[in-house]
A and B are shown apart, each in its own frame.
Chain A
Amino acid sequence: MDEAPRDFGFNTRAVHAGQRPDPYTGASATPIYQTAGFVFDDTESASAYFNLQEYGNVYSRIMNPTVAAFEERLANLEGGVGSVAFASGLAAQAGLFFALLEPGDRIAVAKALYGGSTAQLNHLARKLQITVDWVDMDDPDGWRRSVTTETKALFAETIANPGGNVLDISLAAAVAHEVGAPLVVDNTFATPYLCRPLEFGADLIIHSATKFLAGNGTTIAGAVVDSGTFDWSNGRFPSIADPSTAYHGLKFHETFGVYGLLMKLRSETLRDFGAVLAPFNAFLLLLGIESLVVRMDRHVANALAVAEWLREQPGVGAVRHPALPDSPYRQLVERYLPAGAGSVFSFDLESGREGGRCFIEALSLWSHLANVGDTKSLVIHPASTTHRQLSDDELAASGVAPGTVRLSVGLEDVGDLVWDLERGLRAARGSAVTA
Chain B
Amino acid sequence: MQEIVLNAHTVAIVGLSASELRASHFVGYYLQRHGYRVIPVNPNEERVLGEQVYPSLRDVPDHIDVVDVFRDPAAVPDIAREAVEVGAGALWLQFGVISPEGARIAQEGGLAVVMDRCLKVEHARLLGRMHWMGFDTGVIAGSR
Footprint of B on A, CB under 8 Å?
2, 5-6, 8, 12-13, 16-18, 20-21, 23, 26, 28, 44, 48, 51-57, 63, 65, 67-69, 71-72, 75-76, 80-85, 243, 248-251, 254-259, 262-263, 266
B23 contacts the other chain (CB 8 A): yes
Interface residues of B in 86-109 (CB under 8 A from A): 94-96
Tell me which of A23, A51, A82 contacts B144 (CB under 8 A). Answer: A23
Q: What are 19 A-to-B residue pairs whose CB atoms are below 8 Å?
A: A12-B140, A16-B142, A17-B136, A20-B139, A20-B144, A21-B143, A21-B144, A28-B142, A44-B33, A53-B26, A54-B129, A56-B132, A68-B132, A68-B133, A81-B135, A255-B22, A257-B94, A257-B96, A262-B134
Collect the chain B residues with CB atoms within 8 Å of residue A5's CB.
138
Q: Please state if A55 and B141 are interface contacts (CB–CB under 8 Å).
A: no
Collect the chain B residues with CB atoms within 8 Å of residue A258's CB.
95
Q: Please state if B144 and A55 are interface contacts (CB–CB under 8 Å).
A: no
Q: Please state if A63 and B135 are interface contacts (CB–CB under 8 Å).
A: no
Task: Please report the C-alpha to C-alpha distance between residue A57 and residue B132 in the assembled complex, in whole angstroms.
Answer: 7
Task: Please report the C-alpha to C-alpha distance between residue A48 and residue B23 in the assembled complex, in whole angstroms.
Answer: 14
Which chain A residue lies CB-closest to B121? Answer: A259
Collect the chain B residues with CB atoms within 8 Å of residue A16's CB.
140-142
Question: Could you tell me the distance in whole angstroms from the C-beta of B126 to the nearest C-beta in chain A?
Answer: 12
Which chain A residue lies CB-closest to B129? Answer: A55
Collect the chain B residues with CB atoms within 8 Å of residue A82's CB.
133-136
Interface residues of B in 112-144 (CB under 8 A from A): 118, 121, 124, 129-144
Collect the chain A residues with CB atoms within 8 Å of residue B130's CB.
55
Given contacts A20-B139, A259-B121, contact A85 B134 (CB under 8 A): yes
Q: Please state if B134 and A248 are interface contacts (CB–CB under 8 Å).
A: no
Q: Please state if B29 and A53 are interface contacts (CB–CB under 8 Å).
A: yes
Task: Please report the C-alpha to C-alpha distance between residue A69 and residue B130 in the assembled complex, in whole angstroms.
Answer: 11
Given contacts A16-B141, A26-B144, contact A63 B30 (CB under 8 A): no
Task: Please report the C-alpha to C-alpha distance between residue A54 and residue B35 in the assembled complex, in whole angstroms.
Answer: 13
Collect the chain A residues with CB atoms within 8 Å of residue B22's CB.
255
Footprint of A on B, CB under 8 Å?
3, 20-23, 26, 29-30, 33, 94-96, 118, 121, 124, 129-144
Collect the chain B residues with CB atoms within 8 Å of residue A21's CB.
142-144
Q: Please state if B121 and A54 are interface contacts (CB–CB under 8 Å).
A: no
Tell me which of B26, B94, B134 contacts A83 (CB under 8 A). Answer: B134
Collect the chain A residues with CB atoms within 8 Å of residue B121's CB.
256-257, 259
Q: Please state if A75 and B135 are interface contacts (CB–CB under 8 Å).
A: yes
Collect the chain A residues with CB atoms within 8 Å of residue B129's CB.
54-56
Q: Please state if A13 and B140 are interface contacts (CB–CB under 8 Å).
A: yes
Collect the chain A residues with CB atoms within 8 Å of residue B131's CB.
18, 68-69, 72
Collect the chain B residues with CB atoms within 8 Å of residue A23's CB.
144
Q: Please state if A55 and B134 are interface contacts (CB–CB under 8 Å).
A: no
Collect the chain B residues with CB atoms within 8 Å of residue A6's CB.
140
Collect the chain B residues with CB atoms within 8 Å of residue A76's CB.
136, 138
Task: Please report the C-alpha to C-alpha distance between residue A2 and residue B3 in the assembled complex, in whole angstroms.
Answer: 10
Tell me which of B23, B29, B141 contacts A20 (CB under 8 A). Answer: B141
Task: Please report the C-alpha to C-alpha distance between residue A163 and residue B26 in the assembled complex, in whole angstroms.
Answer: 48
Task: Please report the C-alpha to C-alpha distance between residue A408 and residue B132 in the assembled complex, in whole angstroms.
Answer: 34
Collect the chain B residues with CB atoms within 8 Å of residue A12's CB.
140
Question: Could you tell me the distance in whole angstroms from the C-beta of B122 to the nearest C-beta in chain A?
Answer: 11
Given contacts A16-B141, A250-B21, contact A263 B136 (CB under 8 A): no
Question: Could you tell me the distance in whole angstroms from the C-beta of A313 to the nearest C-beta in chain B?
Answer: 46
Which of A53, A243, A254 has the most chain B CB within a 10 Å cutoff?
A53
Question: Could you tell me the distance in whole angstroms from the C-beta of B49 to the nearest C-beta in chain A?
Answer: 11
